[in-house]
Amino acid sequence: MSAFILEKLCRGCQRCVHACPNQAIQMVAHMAVVDPEKCVECEECMEVCMQGAITFRDDREEKKEALGHG
């Protein structure tokens, strides 16, 4: 299970790209995309994302609900 970026929330700031120790994140059309093959699930990207756009697949639904609270 790799990191997953919620497209609607990503602002393309590239903080996660620079934070990833394994170069698993790339910018594609101004949006960050995680390569699941490279992701080592360290959560560094999640820590630096100001938009809360990064989550992990198995808690994606939970995260969506949490977003409702601002």
Contacts with ligand SF4 by CB under 6 A lie at 2-3, 5, 10-16, 19-20, 22, 24-25, 32, 34, 39-45, 48-49, 51, 53-54
CA-to-CA distance for 7 and 64, rounded, in angstroms? 12
Q: Which amino acid belongs to residue 20?
A: C
Beta pairing, strands 54-56 & 25-28: unpaired
Specify the residue, 51 or 63, whose C-beta has the smaller distance to ligand SF4. 51
Specify the residue, 48 or 67, whose C-beta has the smaller distance to ligand SF4. 48
Q: How far is the CB of 54 from ligand SF4 (least distance, A)?
A: 5
CA-to-CA distance for 27 and 13, rounded, in angstroms? 10
